[in-house]
């Protein structure tokens, strides 16, 4: 049983007396998120009469409180959603390079004040709520405020992530204040994290909406601290930040329509990859490992060309997908199998970053939402009096794929929240955390579920594979070996097993039982998340 603060339990108990009374097309409402408290917050909102948008916003704000190392209100956000009336839309609330940014005089570090871009999470969540929610913002934000104000017991993963950054935490006064204990040491199991300043920040947002964060006292504290320490953000940058409508891209897979987002999300690569998967002949797990990994490698060669419209059209082309698949089928060669386990010490629950959640409701609204600070703890900077960490936007973490950084640009990344539909009805909605592994995690889970017809929970457990100018890496942990017969690989095949958890992305998904009209959810076993189901 998760230990939570008393006020959170009281809120949950009171709201459970409420339920839907009108006729709805679906049997239940569901949320899958990377932390049980975030999933509980979604259930609270459903019990109050909120819809999937209200639940997603409430859960996202809670994640900013309970997983501050992976996401937060100082970060960036991408959302794809389907309204009950049929529209599929997207929100771009990713971080933006400030107008005063320049790199002529120095090389940027990988973290610190000079790497901070204009945050987008608050603007994105409020836009999602204003356009689609049915409850007031104060009600939606109550769970996150209660958890920040009264505290909660830290989960092992969060403790490990904070412990791994202790030396960088000590570099910044605000960060030390919030993410070390009273003795100046790392948190340990059993510690309760209370965040009074973050609670106050959230209260101001709940009262004043977007202006409460991008103008007024919060904005002034942000700008003063950032400017005094070599950063670039100004009051005008914050005030002028706007949420953009994302372009929704569409492809085809196994009789389903796939919908995801164009830049700054890597949706075109996500679509191309699964369209190639669809053209391959996968007869067994050996085919899966060798051919699917080749499709991943081929798709990732196109990442550099996503900012050109002609290139995007080629990337999305079914004809091109068939050509790539044919080349893979015709050029299968024996490669070497390394029987020794390949250890990845840095890719586990202690080093994960980014958070994804998915919600659906009785009315047919569906939300797939990903938010992040960038790397673990983002810039590692927090401002005294505000209580949250800032993102990384400029510098080596995000530079390289799509050209030089310049003022006004938005951070592009592999983030790809995704929805699959058939006859205009959502059958699967999902997304992932995990950096460059996000598209492969999404697509391999979708393939296992929609084409190989495994149960959703098994689709999330089954081995995922990765290859890009490297050996073929395949999962080997948490019981996935029951799906894998390593006798299928000959001694000459170059397949290396990775035992580290979370290397292959962390997926949180919701699917529709079309016969019973019931939503079902699954949380990635490589993380500490959960699914909440409200009837």
Q: What is the pLDDT of residue 60?
A: 98
Question: Given a cut of 50, is residue 21 above it in pLDDT?
Answer: no
The percent of residues above 70 in pLDDT, for the chain, comes to 87
Confidence of residue 338 (pLDDT cuts 50, 70, 90): very low
Q: What is the pLDDT of residue 8?
A: 53
Q: What is the pLDDT of residue 95?
A: 96
Mean pLDDT of the chain: 89
User: 474 pairs with which residues across the strands?
Assistant: 465, 497
Q: What is the CATH number of the domain that holds 484?
A: 3.60.20
pLDDT digits (tens, 9 = 90+) for 88-144: 999 999 999 999 998 765 678 999 999 999 999 999 999 999 999 999 999 999 999
Q: Do residues 286 and 200 both lie within one domain?
A: no
Final residue in a domain of this structure, among 201, 220, 242: 242
Question: Given a cut of 50, is residue 357 above it in pLDDT?
Answer: yes
User: 480 pairs with which residues across the strands?
Assistant: none
Q: Do residues 186 and 154 both lie within one domain?
A: yes
Q: Could you tell me which of 174, 173, 412, 419 has the C-alpha nearest to residue 312?
A: 412
Confidence of residue 70 (pLDDT cuts 50, 70, 90): very high
Q: What is the pLDDT of residue 478?
A: 55
State how far the Cα of 500 lies from the Cα of 510, in Å rounded to an integer: 25
- Please check whether residue 366 is in contact with residue 360, taking contact to mean a CB–CB distance below 8 angstroms: yes
Confidence of residue 17 (pLDDT cuts 50, 70, 90): very low
Confidence of residue 472 (pLDDT cuts 50, 70, 90): confident
Q: Do residues 302 and 194 both lie within one domain?
A: no
Is residue 165 included in any domain, yes or no? Answer: yes
Q: Do residues 106 and 36 both lie within one domain?
A: yes
User: 366 pairs with which residues across the strands?
Assistant: 82, 360
Is residue 404 included in any domain, yes or no? Answer: no
Q: What is the pLDDT of residue 433?
A: 94
Q: Do residues 445 and 525 both lie within one domain?
A: yes
Mean pLDDT of 416-442: 96
Q: Do residues 262 and 278 both lie within one domain?
A: yes
Q: What is the pLDDT of residue 354?
A: 92
Is residue 84 included in any domain, yes or no? Answer: yes
Q: Do residues 258 and 238 both lie within one domain?
A: no
Confidence of residue 380 (pLDDT cuts 50, 70, 90): very high
What six digits make up the tokens of 75?
């970060």
Question: Given a cut of 90, is residue 46 above it in pLDDT?
Answer: yes
Residue 269's domain comprises 246-348+417-534
Question: Given a cut of 50, is residue 176 above it in pLDDT?
Answer: yes
Q: What is the pLDDT of residue 10?
A: 45
- Please check whether residue 270 is in contact with residue 313, taking contact to mean a CB–CB distance below 8 angstroms: no
Question: Given a cut of 90, is residue 22 above it in pLDDT?
Answer: no
Q: Do residues 200 and 278 both lie within one domain?
A: no
Cα separations in angstroms, 132 against 29, 87, 245, 429: 16, 12, 14, 18
Q: What is the pLDDT of residue 20?
A: 39
pLDDT digits (tens, 9 = 90+) for 141-173: 999 999 999 999 999 999 999 999 999 999 999
Q: Do residues 287 and 198 both lie within one domain?
A: no
Final residue in a domain of this structure, among 192, 219, 242: 242
Q: What is the pLDDT of residue 351?
A: 55
Is residue 397 included in any domain, yes or no? Answer: no
Q: Could you tell me which of 403, 383, 381, 375 has the C-alpha nearest to residue 114?
A: 381
Question: Given a cut of 70, is residue 486 above it in pLDDT?
Answer: no
Question: Given a cut of 90, is residue 487 above it in pLDDT?
Answer: no
Q: What is the pLDDT of residue 280?
A: 97
Number of structural domains (the chain) is 2
Is residue 376 included in any domain, yes or no? Answer: no
Q: What share of the chain is helix, strand, coil (3-state, %, to 5)?
A: 40, 20, 40
Q: What is the pLDDT of residue 335?
A: 46
What six digits make up the tokens of 488?
């299928």
Q: Is 458 exposed, middle or buried (0-12, 13-18, 19+ CB in 10 A)?
A: middle
Is residue 335 included in any domain, yes or no? Answer: yes
Mean pLDDT of 301-325: 93
Q: Do residues 277 and 330 both lie within one domain?
A: yes
Confidence of residue 482 (pLDDT cuts 50, 70, 90): low
**What is the enclosing helix (H) or strand (E) of 123?**
helix 121-132
Of 201-215, 355-369, 475-489, 519-533, the poorest mean pLDDT is in 475-489
Report the predicted TM-score, pTM, of the whole model to 2 decimal places.
0.92
pLDDT digits (tens, 9 = 90+) for 301-312: 999 899 888 899
């Amino acid at each position: 049983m998760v230990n939570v603060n008393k006020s959170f339990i009281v809120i949950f108990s009171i709201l459970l007396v409420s339920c839907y009374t009108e006729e709805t097309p679906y049997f239940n409402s569901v949320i899958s998120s990377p932390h049980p408290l975030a999933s509980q917050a979604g259930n609270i909102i459903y019990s109050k009469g909120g819809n999937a948008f209200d639940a997603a916003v409430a859960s996202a704000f809670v994640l900013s409180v309970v997983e501050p190392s992976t996401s937060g209100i100082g970060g960036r956000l991408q959302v794809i959603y389907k309204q009950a009336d049929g529209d599929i839309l997207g929100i771009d609330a990713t971080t933006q390079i400030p107008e005063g940014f320049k790199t002529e005089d120095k090389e940027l570090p990988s973290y610190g004040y000079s790497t901070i871009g204009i945050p987008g999470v608050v603007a994105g969540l409020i836009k999602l709520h204003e356009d689609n929610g049915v409850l007031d913002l104060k009600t939606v934000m109550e769970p996150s405020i209660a958890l920040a104000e009264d505290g909660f017991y830290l989960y092992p993963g969060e403790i490990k992530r904070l412990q791994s950054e202790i030396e960088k935490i000590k570099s910044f006064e605000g960060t030390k204040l919030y993410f070390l204990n009273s003795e100046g040491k790392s948190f340990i199991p059993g510690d309760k994290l209370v965040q009074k300043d973050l609670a106050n920040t959230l209260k101001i947002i709940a009262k004043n909406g977007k202006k409460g964060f991008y103008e007024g006292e919060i904005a002034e504290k942000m700008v003063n601290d950032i400017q005094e320490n070599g950063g670039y953000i100004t009051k005008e940058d914050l005030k002028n930040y706007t949420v953009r409508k994302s372009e929704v891209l569409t492809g085809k897979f196994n009789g389903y329509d796939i919908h995801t987002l164009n830049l700054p999300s890597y949706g075109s690569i996500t679509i191309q990859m699964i369209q190639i998967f669809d053209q391959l002949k996968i007869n067994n797990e050996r085919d899966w490992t060798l051919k699917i990994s080749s499709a991943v490698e081929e798709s990732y060669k196109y990442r550099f060309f996503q900012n050109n419209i002609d290139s995007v059209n080629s990337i999305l082309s079914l004809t091109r997908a068939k050509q790539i698949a044919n080349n893979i089928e015709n050029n299968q060669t024996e490669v070497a199998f390394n029987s020794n386990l390949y250890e990845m010490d840095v890719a586990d629950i202690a080093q994960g970053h980014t958070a994804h959640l998915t919600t659906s409701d009785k009315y047919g609204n569906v939300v797939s939402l990903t938010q992040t600070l960038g790397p673990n703890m983002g810039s590692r900077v927090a401002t005294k009096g505000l209580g949250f960490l800032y993102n990384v936007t400029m510098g080596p973490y995000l530079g390289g794929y799509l050209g030089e950084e310049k003022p006004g640009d938005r951070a592009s990344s592999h983030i790809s929240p995704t929805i699959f539909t058939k006859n205009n009805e959502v059958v699967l909605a999902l997304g992932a955390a995990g950096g460059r592994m996000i598209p492969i995690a999404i697509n391999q889970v979708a393939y296992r579920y929609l084409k190989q017809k495994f149960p959703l929970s098994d689709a999330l457990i089954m081995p995922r594979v990765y290859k890009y100018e490297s050996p073929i890496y395949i999962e080997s942990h948490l019981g996935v070996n029951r799906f894998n017969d390593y006798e299928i690989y000959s001694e000459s095949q170059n397949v290396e097993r990775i035992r580290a958890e979370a290397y292959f992305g962390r997926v949180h998904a919701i699917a529709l039982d079309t016969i019973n009209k019931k939503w079902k959810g699954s949380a990635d076993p490589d993380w500490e998340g959960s699914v909440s189901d409200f009837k």
